[in-house]
Amino acid sequence: MLGQKLAVIDYGTGNIRSVVKAFENLGSEVILATKPSIAETASAIVFPGQGCFPDCMGALKNSGFDILLKEWIAADRPFFGICLGLQVLFEWSEEGNASGLSIFPGKVSRFFLPPELKVPHMGWNSLFFSENAPKWLCAGLADGDQFYFVHSYRVEPENDDIVFSHTDYGGEFVSGISSKNCHATQFHPEKSQAKGLQIYQNFLDNIKYP
């Protein structure tokens, strides 16, 4: 990744400093992309989605990032989405009855859990990798490793082939996807200490464009 630029999308809805710092600590040159033209110059895009689904999609559309992300992922250029940055890749969310980017078929639904389990799902939980998980993305990691989550909604992909990890919280849910050069996690790698940084490092090591 040395010599290549990593664009972290900043659409003005949250604090993304921890994500920027994590990639800088791994030796990346990071640029804050406040508009699509800035991100277009990068070798890879990281999208740390913040806030609620309808507001996020509204901000993406108002800024033109929605078009950029669709074109970027369709062109198979390296992308990593985090938390809401995973959810908006799908067609629709129960949160605000809002449409997503429709990169992948599927929806986003709210957790409905027994009273002893709180929503949002917040804190450390285990990851279990699917048979489809790319070996390079899981390098240095093992089933049961702990990652940090903060979310009230979960993705439900129609295609199981893109699922690279599951987590249990009142039942199994999808906690990560991977398809070609597009990868996204429900958990926050930047808040997950060494294991989270390992996933970021694996992503950086696999960047081949341009």
User: How many residues appear in the chain?
Assistant: 210
Number of domains in the chain: 1
Say if 185 falls within a structural domain.
Answer: yes
Report yes or no: 36 and 67 within 8 Å, Cβ to Cβ. Answer: yes
Active-site residue identified among 121, 151, 183, 188? 188
Say if 113 falls within a structural domain.
Answer: yes
Question: For 175-180, what is the mean pLDDT?
Answer: 98
Mean pLDDT across the chain, nearest whole number? 94
Strand ranges inside 23-63, DSSP E: 29-33, 44-49
Reported pTM: 0.95
- pLDDT level of residue 210 (50, 70, 90 thresholds): very low
Say if 32 falls within a structural domain.
Answer: yes
C-alpha 86/C-alpha 122 separation (Å) is 17
Q: What is the pLDDT of residues 141-175, one digit of tens each?
A: 999 999 999 999 999 999 999 999 999 999 999 99
188 is catalytic: yes
Active-site residue identified among 83, 95, 121, 138? 83
Q: What is the pLDDT of residues 78-115, one digit of tens each?
A: 999 999 999 999 999 999 999 999 999 999 999 988 88
Say if 210 falls within a structural domain.
Answer: no
Which residue segment(s) compose the domain that 140 sits in?
5-205
56 is catalytic: no
Neighbours of 197 (CB within 10 A): 17
C-alpha 43/C-alpha 91 separation (Å) is 26
Please provide the DSSP assignment of 65-131 as one string: HHHHHHHHHHTT--EEEEEHHHHTTSSEETGGGEE---SSSEEEEE----TTS-SSEEEEEE-EE-T
Assign residue 47 the CATH number of its domain.
3.40.50.880
190 is catalytic: yes
C-alpha 131/C-alpha 140 separation (Å) is 16
What are phi and psi for residue 59, nearest 5 degrees? -65, -40
Say if 64 falls within a structural domain.
Answer: yes
Say if 34 falls within a structural domain.
Answer: yes
Q: Could you say which DSSP state residue 60 is in?
A: H
Task: Kindly tell me the sign of the dihedral angle through the C-alpha atoms of 170, 172, 178, 182.
Answer: negative
Take residue 200 and report the two structure tokens written for it.
């970021």
